[in-house]
A and B are shown apart, each in its own frame.
Chain A
C-alpha cells in the first residue's frame, strides 16, 4: 500500500515548513496574550522570559524541578516534576526532532539570518568534522551542567544566582524577549559579581552566536543541550528519518542540502538520522532517487523522496 503524501515532496515542502515555523513562532512568542499556553514542557526554545509567551521551554522546567524539587522534597513537587517529564517525553516521542526544524522560535531566528546571508551572497562557513565532534561533547556537557548545578545550589554550595545555570547563558534569553519589546536581558546585571559575570558571559555568547548564526546555518543548534536531550530519546521516537539503502546511489545531495551537514545521511544503512538532525526534511526533498529517503512515523512512511517526479 502506498501512503506517500506526494504533495509534500513536491518542491514546496520547505515553504510549508517555513510557514509552519512562523505559525509556531506566533503561538509560542505571543500566545499568552490570547490565552494560549502550552505548558512547561515544550521541547524547544519557547522562552519563558518572553512576556506573554505561549509556553515554556522544558530546559527551564528541568533546571527548576531539579533544584526546586530537591529543596522542597514534597510528594507534590515530585509528582509535578514527573508529570512534566512525562509530558516532555511524550511530546518528543511523538514529534522527535520536528520540534527543532518545524517549531523552535530560536531556530526560526537562525533561519532569518541565513536568509539574509543568502540574499547578500555571503558564503556559508563549514564546521570541520573534528570541531563538530567536540561540539557534540559540548552539547552533552551543557546538559550535564544544567542538571548538576541546581543540586549544588540546593546544597548551598553555590549561591541562588546559579539557580537556572543554562538560562543565564542562553542566547535565546537575550534575543527572544526582544520580540516582545523586552531588552533587559541584554543589559548588565550589576546586582552582584555572579550576576554581572553571567550577564557578561551571556552578552559574549550572544555576540558570538549572532556572528556564527549569520555565517553558518543553524549554528546555535550545534551547541543546543535540548537537541542533545531530544536525541537521547531517539529510541522512543516515532518520527524520524529512515533510508532505503538499496535505492541510494550515493550522490551526496542529501548531506550537501543538510543545514547541519550531516554526513551520516550518505551511509549505506537505514538508520541515517544523525545526532544533529533537525528533521527539516530538506535532504528528503533534495534526494534525486525515488523513495531513498523517507520520513518515518511509527511504522508508516508518510513522506518519501520523489526523485523530482511529479
Chain B
C-alpha cells in the first residue's frame, strides 16, 4: 500500500474522531443545558465537563495531574504530595473508535475509550507517571495496549499490587506495604517528603468533600437533584481542585429547591458510567425511572466516605487510608466481595427503591459475573432486578428502552 495514502487515511480518521468527539460532548452538554431542571449553579460542572483533559485539570487546580485508573490509590496521599489526582476520562464513543484496530473485538469499552483519549490528545500533559492498581485484567494489560497503539508519550506506570482478598490479614498487610511504596514513589517524583501536617490537611479536605457527597446523595434521594446531574457532578470531581469542587457543590446544594420523585425509584449497580456517555441515564429518565442511589465507581463510590482517624501519626494515617481504600472497596475484582449486596440493601433504608438496574459494560467480566449472584440475592429480598448489557454505541437504545419500560411496569407490582 502506498505509505502516503495510509498516512493520509490515518490523518483523516483522526480529524474525523476529533470532530466527532467535539460534537459528542457538545451535544450532551447542550441537552443538559436545555433541561427543565437546569440551574445556573450547574454551569461550573458543565464547564468542567466541556474539557476533560489532564491539561485542563492541571490548569484549573494549579497542580500537576497524576493519572489514575481505578480508585484504590488513596487520593489524600496523592493530594498531600502536591498532585492533582486525575482519573482518566473514558466515556467517549468517538475517541474509542480510534483505538479499535490493534485489539481484540471484545475489549472493555472504558479502556478502549481511555486509549482513544490518549491517541486523540497526544500532547495532553505528558510527563508524570500513572498510578495503576492491579484490579481487572483490562487494567493490568493497559500499558501493553497503550504501547500497541504506538503512542509517543510512553508514560511510566507505578503499579499497586492489589490483593484480591480483603478479609485476610496478610493481604491487608501486603496492601499496606503497597501504600507505603506509593508514598515513597510520590515523594520521589515530587522531590519532597509528605509531611504529617499535609496529610492531615488532605484528609480533612477530602473528608469535607465526602460530607458534600453525602449531602448530594440525600438531595438525590429526595428528588431535589436528578440523577443525571448527580452523575455529571461526580464525573467532574477530578477536573478541578477538590476544594473548589466542594465549594461549588455546596453552593449548588444550598440553591436546590424542594423536589419530588415521580417515576419508579431504582438503584443503579454495576459498571461505571462516564461522561459524555450518558446514554443510559437519559434512557432511564425516558422510561420514567429515577435512580435514587447507585454503587458505581463513577458516582457514589467515587471516593470513600469520611476517614475516621484515631492515630494521627504518619503511620496511623497511612494505615487508616490503606484500609479504607482496600477493605472499603466494593469493586467486583475482589474474591471475597460477598458483602457488596449489603451496601445495596443498606441503602434501601434511606433511598427506599423497589428495584435494581444492573449495568454491565460489554466485556467487563467481573461485573458481568457478579450480576448473577447479586440477582439471586436481591430478588430474595423482594427487589426487582434487570440486567442491561451494553456498550457505548447508541444503536441498542430502542431495545434498552423497551426493556426499561416493561421493567418500570413490573416495579409497581408486588
Direct contact of A and B (CB under 8 A): yes
Whether, in the assembled complex, A253 has its beta carbon less than 8 Å from a beta carbon of chain B, the answer is yes
With A288-B305, A308-B305, A309-B214 as contacts: A249 and B310 at CB distance below 8 Å: no
**Who on chain B is nearest to A129 by CB?**
B169
How far apart are the CA atoms of A152 and B195 in the complex, in Å? Answer: 58
Whether, in the assembled complex, B327 has its beta carbon less than 8 Å from a beta carbon of chain A, the answer is yes
Q: Spot the interface stretch: B94-102, B343-351, B355-363.
A: B343-351
**Who on chain A is nearest to B210 by CB?**
A308
With A217-B310, A249-B330 as contacts: A256 and B346 at CB distance below 8 Å: no
Number of interface residues of A (CB under 8 A): 32
Whether, in the assembled complex, B211 has its beta carbon less than 8 Å from a beta carbon of chain A, the answer is yes
**Which residues of the partner chain B approach A266 to less than 8 Å between Cβ atoms?**
167
Whether, in the assembled complex, A257 has its beta carbon less than 8 Å from a beta carbon of chain B, the answer is yes
**Who on chain B is nearest to A247 by CB?**
B346
Q: Mark A4-25, 1 if CB is under 8 A from B, else 0.
A: 0000000000000000000000
Contact status B320-A256, CB under 8 Å: yes
Q: Mark A234-265, 1 if CB is under 8 A from B, else 0.
A: 00000000000111111111001101000000
Q: Mark A280-297, 1 if CB is under 8 A from B, else 0.
A: 001001101111100000
Whether, in the assembled complex, A268 has its beta carbon less than 8 Å from a beta carbon of chain B, the answer is yes
Contact status A249-B346, CB under 8 Å: yes
Q: Mark B296-313, 1 if CB is under 8 A from A, else 0.
A: 000000001110101111
How far apart are the CA atoms of A249 and B328 in the complex, in Å? Answer: 7
Q: Mark A113-138, 1 if CB is under 8 A from B, else 0.
A: 00000100111100001000000000
From A252, A282, A308, give the contact of B327 (CB < 8 A): A252
**Which residues of the partner chain B approach A256 to less than 8 Å between Cβ atoms?**
308, 310, 319-320, 323-324
A62 → B minimal CB distance (Å): 33
From A121, A129, A246, A249, give the contact of B312 (CB < 8 A): A121
Whether, in the assembled complex, B340 has its beta carbon less than 8 Å from a beta carbon of chain A, the answer is yes
Contact status A249-B350, CB under 8 Å: no
**Who on chain A is nearest to B197 by CB?**
A121
Contact status B211-A253, CB under 8 Å: no
Whether, in the assembled complex, B166 has its beta carbon less than 8 Å from a beta carbon of chain A, the answer is yes
**Which residues of the partner chain A approach B312 to less than 8 Å between Cβ atoms?**
118, 121
**Who on chain B is nearest to A244 by CB?**
B346
How far apart are the CA atoms of A310 and B350 in the complex, in Å? Answer: 12
Contact status B218-A308, CB under 8 Å: no
B149 → A minimal CB distance (Å): 37
**Which residues of the partner chain B approach A246 to less than 8 Å between Cβ atoms?**
342, 345-346
How far apart are the CA atoms of A252 and B176 in the complex, in Å? Answer: 14
A17 → B minimal CB distance (Å): 14
A151 → B minimal CB distance (Å): 42
**Who on chain B is nearest to A259 by CB?**
B310
Contact status A121-B196, CB under 8 Å: yes
Whether, in the assembled complex, B314 has its beta carbon less than 8 Å from a beta carbon of chain A, the answer is yes
With A247-B345, A247-B346 as contacts: A253 and B313 at CB distance below 8 Å: no
With A121-B196, A253-B324 as contacts: A248 and B310 at CB distance below 8 Å: no
Contact status B211-A308, CB under 8 Å: yes
Number of interface residues of B (CB under 8 A): 34
How far apart are the CA atoms of A248 and B169 in the complex, in Å? Answer: 19
From A251, A252, A257, give the contact of B310 (CB < 8 A): A257
Contact status A123-B339, CB under 8 Å: no
**Which residues of the partner chain A approach B324 to less than 8 Å between Cβ atoms?**
251-253, 256
From A129, A247, A252, A309, give the contact of B328 (CB < 8 A): A252
How far apart are the CA atoms of A292 and B347 in the complex, in Å? Answer: 11
**Which residues of the partner chain A approach B397 to less than 8 Å between Cβ atoms?**
none
Residue among A249, A290, A307 facing the most chain B CB atoms (10 A cut-off): A249
Contact status B305-A248, CB under 8 Å: no
A257 → B minimal CB distance (Å): 5
How far apart are the CA atoms of A33 and B346 in the complex, in Å? Answer: 51
How far apart are the CA atoms of A282 and B309 in the complex, in Å? Answer: 11
**Which residues of the partner chain A approach B196 to less than 8 Å between Cβ atoms?**
121
How far apart are the CA atoms of A272 and B166 in the complex, in Å? Answer: 19
Residue among B315, B320, B339, B340 facing the most chain A CB atoms (10 A cut-off): B339
Contact status A251-B319, CB under 8 Å: no
Q: Mark B278-298, 1 if CB is under 8 A from A, else 0.
A: 000000000000000000000
Whether, in the assembled complex, B316 has its beta carbon less than 8 Å from a beta carbon of chain A, the answer is yes
Contact status A257-B346, CB under 8 Å: no
**Who on chain A is nearest to B213 by CB?**
A308
How far apart are the CA atoms of A252 and B304 in the complex, in Å? Answer: 12
Contact status A123-B313, CB under 8 Å: yes
**Which residues of the partner chain B approach A217 to less than 8 Å between Cβ atoms?**
310
**Which residues of the partner chain A approach B305 to less than 8 Å between Cβ atoms?**
288, 307-308
A42 → B minimal CB distance (Å): 28
With A124-B316, A250-B166, A251-B324 as contacts: A286 and B308 at CB distance below 8 Å: yes
A12 → B minimal CB distance (Å): 14
From B311, B327, B349, give the contact of A251 (CB < 8 A): B327
With A123-B315, A246-B346, A309-B214 as contacts: A282 and B310 at CB distance below 8 Å: yes
Contact status B313-A250, CB under 8 Å: no
With A246-B345, A249-B330, A256-B319 as contacts: A123 and B211 at CB distance below 8 Å: no
**Which residues of the partner chain A approach B313 to less than 8 Å between Cβ atoms?**
118, 121-124
From B167, B308, B314, B330, give the contact of A257 (CB < 8 A): B308
A269 → B minimal CB distance (Å): 13
A82 → B minimal CB distance (Å): 41
B326 → A minimal CB distance (Å): 8
With A121-B196, A308-B214 as contacts: A249 and B339 at CB distance below 8 Å: yes
**Which residues of the partner chain B approach A251 to less than 8 Å between Cβ atoms?**
304, 323-324, 327-328
**Who on chain A is nearest to B320 by CB?**
A256
From B211, B316, B340, B349, give the contact of A291 (CB < 8 A): B349
A282 → B minimal CB distance (Å): 7
Interface set of A (CB-CB < 8 Å, partner B): 118, 121-124, 129, 217, 245-253, 256-257, 259, 266, 268, 282, 285-286, 288-292, 307-309
Sampled A-B contacts (23; CB under 8 Å): A118-B312, A121-B196, A121-B313, A123-B311, A124-B315, A129-B169, A247-B342, A248-B342, A248-B346, A249-B340, A249-B342, A250-B167, A251-B323, A252-B166, A252-B328, A256-B308, A268-B339, A289-B346, A290-B349, A291-B346, A308-B305, A309-B218, A309-B350
Extra contacts, 7 of them, besides A253-B324, A308-B306 (Cβ < 8 A), are: A118-B311, A129-B169, A247-B349, A251-B324, A251-B327, A252-B327, A288-B328
Q: Nearest 4 CB-CB pairs, A to B?
A: A251-B328, A123-B313, A123-B315, A286-B308
